[in-house]
Structure 1
Amino acid sequence: MNGQTFLIKLDDEEKTIKSKAETYNEYINANDNQLTEEVRTDINAVIGEVNLLLRGKLKQFRGLCQANVTKLTDGEPIPLDSDLEGFWDITYPLIDKVKEKFTKLDARQAKQWAPIEEYDPNDINNRPRVIDDRLKQLQPQQNKSSKIPIPKPANDDLKKLIQERRKAAANSTNQNHDIEIFVAPK
């Protein structure tokens, strides 16, 4: 893809996120008294993220695309089509993330701004534990009334011996011993 193609894509994406941001900004202005501080903060955070994206990465990308199309730069190399593709691969997930946040706001608005429990499938600590009947059969059944006594480990004697040796070594270091050094003859 060349700079002209990316400019068209960029215009479409900017139009989409600007439109959503303006819609929510108008919604805040019209319903300010009815919204909680949390809801206003959430909406303003997404709008702010859109503004940062538009003034930052997307503006930079637009400049690169225009330099690619016009082949004019201020002494800097002209961005290649492959450069634009790489920059788009970095930038588009940011656009997608903002669109996803707007989708979550839409879902909350549909539920009268009730908080929506979010589930991150990549977060190991947040995954629900699903145990179906097959797994329940594999799990050992524990009956608390009839506990099986656990035998003492067979190596208790070894542990005692190690403790005695440690005590003996500690006592021997407290005594004043002569140290002998042996040197091999030359």
Structure 2
Amino acid sequence: MSRSVMTRNGQAFLARLDEEEKVIKAKADTYNKLLQTDDNRLTDDIRSDINAAIGEVNLLLKGKLKQFRGLCQANVSKSTTPAGEPTPLDSDLEGFWDITYPLIDKVKVKFSKLDARKAKQWAPMEDEYDPNDVNNRPRIIDDRLKQLQPHQNKSKVSSSKPANDDLKKLIQERRKAAANAANQNDDVEIFVGPK
């Protein structure tokens, strides 16, 4: 199966990078301004989601996208990278873009979910979580975890109290018996073996 692949050079990637950065920066700025308002519909969870999306944009801009921009500029100027590595080839840029673009797309998806919630006056969405995103799964407590959690049910506490009382009585009786046995054996005999 063959497919034709159009190889892009550093100039093409710089143009694409500029477009993508412009889009995610605009979204981040819009939502940052929204956070500055006193909208009481913005619950702590919504504010947290907005801050997470803005934070991801900032990390991308200062991390992967900045690094990719440096590679593209080195490709265009046919010089070594700022880290002193050889000039990146067009195929190197393609590979780096294939790794980087899903991160941009993920941020765009987060903003589109925020847009959908905003359009519905911040009402929760039906399918708001991605089951493949371990950071965004609902917490499911199975029976094993329920057993480890402290019980708030008073009936269980009261039913276990007589058992605890019985255990305490048993321990006290054994201690008394051991003390009586020690007092009865005041005579100490010492056995010495033959020499």
Structure 2 residue 143 is matched with structure 1 residue 108: no
Structure 1 residues 83 and 46: alpha-carbon distance in aligned structure 2, compared to 1, 3 A threshold: same
Matched residue type, 1:44: N
1:19 shift after superposition: 0.3
Tell me which of 48, 62, 66 is aligned to 2:69.
62
The residue that corresponds to 2:101 in the other structure is 92
The residue that corresponds to 1:21 in the other structure is 28
1:48 shift after superposition: 0.3
Residue correspondence of structure 1 range 27-176 to structure 2 within 5 A: 27-73=34-80, 75-118=84-127
The residue that corresponds to 1:9 in the other structure is 16
Q: Taking every aligned residue pair, what percent have the same amino acid on both sides? A: 75
**Structure 1: how far apart are the matches of 2:28 and 2:15?**
20
**Structure 2: how far apart are the matches of 1:50 and 1:120?**
19
1:31 shift after superposition: 3.2
1:16 shift after superposition: 0.3
Matched residue type, 1:28: L
Deviations 1:137-171 (CA, angstroms, capped at 9, x unpaired): xxxxxxxxxxxxxxxxxxxxxxxxxxxxxxxxxxx
1:52 shift after superposition: 0.4
1:82 shift after superposition: 0.1
1:122 shift after superposition: 7.2
Listed as ranges, the gaps of 5+ residues in structure 2 are: 1-7, 138-195
Listed as ranges, the gaps of 5+ residues in structure 1 are: 127-186
1:3 shift after superposition: 0.2
Using structure 2 for the length normalisation, give the TM-score.
0.59
Using structure 1 for the length normalisation, give the TM-score.
0.62
1:90 shift after superposition: 0.6
2:125 partner SS: coil
1:51 shift after superposition: 0.4
